[in-house]
Structure 1
Amino acid sequence: MRLWSINFRYLDGMGLVALWRESLLARAVLEGRTVGYRRHPQLLRFREYRDPLAAINTYLYYVHRESINRGYRFDGSRIDAGRVDLGIKIPVTQGQLDYELALLRRKLAVRSPEFHESLRGIVRAEPNDLFVSVPGDVEGWERVRPELRGTAPRGDDEAL
């Protein structure tokens, strides 16, 4: 499961479709409707928010909005509109955003070289609309891939 903190415009079509499915799964986990993924680290920031279901439904809202911008037809009725709160802003470290961009670039280099090329000029990753960037290293809950150590600048501009 990967619930991206970076702006969704960085994702290729395959990544956006996968994010929609994984976000729906994340909501099912937070609602207690699944057995698997209950301890997944990607869910920690949602669980720690004062209203986890509002946070994940708002996340789904933003994923859906990006899908509409691209002409996709994700089923918006699957979002609990009564739980969407566009005022939610969850902090995420710049180190986490930069790590995610490095991870995405690695994936796109293989599956979508053209889309990978479109990210070339991006130096600092921006968050998606649910999150607000704060200084800091990669988040403590992230499972950093050994092959990506040192590829993304830390929030304080030092190597990982």
Structure 2
Amino acid sequence: MRLWSLHPSLLDRQGLVACWREALLAQAVLLGRTRGYTAHPQLERFKSHPQPELAIGAYLAGLHAEAVDRGYRFDATRIVHSPADTDPAVIPVTFGQLGFELSHLRAKLFQRSPEFLAERAEILEATEQLIPVHPLFVPVAGTIESWERPGTRTSP
């Protein structure tokens, strides 16, 4: 499971679709609708949020907005707690985490979507302080997040 902190515009088609699918799974976990993945480290930042269900809803809404911009038809009715009424508090993400994710994404795109990588080269070469982030997150100083498992590369 990979719930990117990066802005969804940086994800290629496969990455965006996979992230949507995995965020829906994360939503099911946070709502207690499945017993699998309950201890997955990617969920720690959502679980520690004061409103986890609303936070994952806002995350899904950000992915949905990008999908709509690209002409994809992601089903917004699958977002159980949409942030339309109340926006949740943002979640901090460290610059170190953003750099780690950007490096991981570059490697993925190099292998599976070199054309997409070339189109986004300027953004994907940004320094950590200029990396576009998902609207739910706010960048802060720090190294890789404690929940990240740098030795195990998960597929987006």
Q: TM-score, length-normalised on structure 2?
A: 0.88
Distance 1:146 1:52 in 2: 25
For the 8 Å contact 2:54–2:88, the answer to whether it is kept is no
Give ranges in structure 2 of 5+ residues lacking alignment.
none
Superposed CA RMSD in Å reads 1.6
Shift, 1:145, TM fit: 3.2
Match of 1:25 in 2: 25
Residue identity opposite 2:140 in structure 1: V
Q: 1:138 aligns with which of 125, 144, 148?
A: 144
SS across alignment from 1:132: strand
Q: Distance in 2 between matches of 1:67 and 1:2?
A: 17
Match of 1:90 in 2: 91
Q: Which amino acid aligns with 2:120?
A: L
**Kindly, what percent of the aligned residue pairs are identical?**
50
In structure 1, the gaps of 5 or more residues are 148-160
Q: Are the aligned partners of 1:8 and 1:128 in contact in 2 as well (CA < 8 Å)?
A: yes
Match of 1:113 in 2: 114
Pairing of 1:11-160 with structure 2 (within 5 A): 11-82=11-82, 84=84, 85-122=86-123, 123-124=126-127, 125-145=131-151
For each residue in 1:39-98, what CA deviation from the matched residue of structure 2 results, as whole angstroms up to 9, or x when unmatched? Answer: 000000000000100100111111101100000000011112555543531100011011
- Moved runs in structure 1, 4+ residues, more than 4 A? 81-84
Structure with bigger RCO (C-alpha 8 Å, 6+ apart): 2
Superposed displacement of residue 126, structure 1:
2.1
**Cα contact 1:53–1:83 (8 A) shared by 2:** no
Q: Would you say the 8 A contact 1:126–1:133 is kept in 2?
A: no
